[in-house]
Chains A and B, each alone.
Chain A
Amino acid sequence: GENVEQHPSTLSVQEGDSAVIKCTYSDSASNYFPWYKQELGKRPQLIIDIRSNVGEKKDQRIAVTLNKTAKHFSLHITETQPEDSAVYFCAASINRDDKIIFGKGTRLHILP
């Protein structure tokens, strides 16, 4: 079955700098890659997603890139702000509402 690896497990960046979180997946049939942000004690919230027919997608300060050949995808957050501090999960699935396989998460700390 699908396996999603996520790195790093913890990331600290200075406020205003960029943060990059990387994921790999194992099942070449996966074609949908969402990213979720989870604040302490809250539910995961979808922040951006990308489908396999697109190599890059951007939404304001957040962008996701996908390399299907290498089975890599990454989340980029620019001009980080204190409210970006949270745990971020990458995930993969074959269809958008097929079972979604999550990575183990990256705890992002934005330093003042």
Chain B
Amino acid sequence: ETGVTQSPTHLIKTRGQQVTLRCSSQSGHNTVSWYQQALGQGPQFIFQYYREEENGRGNFPPRFSGLQFPNYSSELNVNALELDDSALYLCASSRLSGNTIYFGEGSWLTVV
């Protein structure tokens, strides 16, 4: 177990809706990164949060947004859902000092 917890584990949304995914980082970790893993693909970096500020972003449109809270937990919000947003969303936590990242179990999102 990594100590990184994500919720919900599975959800189904309709195209055009909005979704919020949540992540609690491992104790002592101040950095949270989000990844999208489509079926049959490797995880793709969405963005990273450090001390409640976005600290790097991958090639994802602005309708993907996030938050980090003072307790270092994080949310990923996706607006105007598209069918291609169907994927496993992985949260990873670490300390911003060269330590290894640890993935949570992920949230499976299906957009219909």
Number of interface residues of B (CB under 8 A): 26
Please pick, from B31, B42, B95, the residue contacting A89 in the complex, using a CB distance under 8 A: B42
Is there an interface contact between B106 and A99, defined as CB atoms closer than 8 Å?
no
Chain B proximity of A57: nearest CB distance (Å) = 14
Which of B12-20, B74-82, B96-104 touches A? B96-104
Q: Decide yes or no whether B48 CB sits under 8 A from chain A.
A: yes
Question: Which one of B40, B90, B97, B98 lies within 8 Å of A44 (CB-CB)?
Answer: B90
With an 8 A cutoff between CB atoms, is B65 at the interface? Answer: no
B105 touches A46 (CB 8 A): no
Instruction: Tell me whether chain B's interface is mostly helix, strand or loop, or mixed.
Output: loop
Interface residues on A, range: 20 to 34
Q: State how many angstroms separate the Cβ of B112 from the closest Cβ of chain A.
A: 20
Chain A: which residue is nearest B95 at the CB level? Answer: A97
- CB contacts (< 8 Å) of B94 on chain A: these are 96-97
B100-A34 in contact (CB<8A): yes
The verdict on B7 contacting chain A, using a C-beta distance below 8 Å, is no
**Contact between A102 and B43, CB atoms less than 8 A apart:** yes
Instruction: Give the residues in chain B near A44, CB-CB below 8 Å.
Output: 43, 90, 103
Measured between beta carbons, the chain B residues less than 8 angstroms from A97 are 31, 33, 48, 94-101
Output the nearest chain A residue to B31 by Cβ-Cβ distance: A97
- B3 contacts partner chain A, Cβ-Cβ < 8 Å: no
The contact of B42 among A42, A49, A95, A103, by CB within 8 Å, is A103
Q: Which 9 A-B pairs have the closest CB atoms?
A: A102-B42, A97-B94, A99-B45, A43-B103, A96-B98, A89-B42, A102-B43, A43-B105, A104-B42
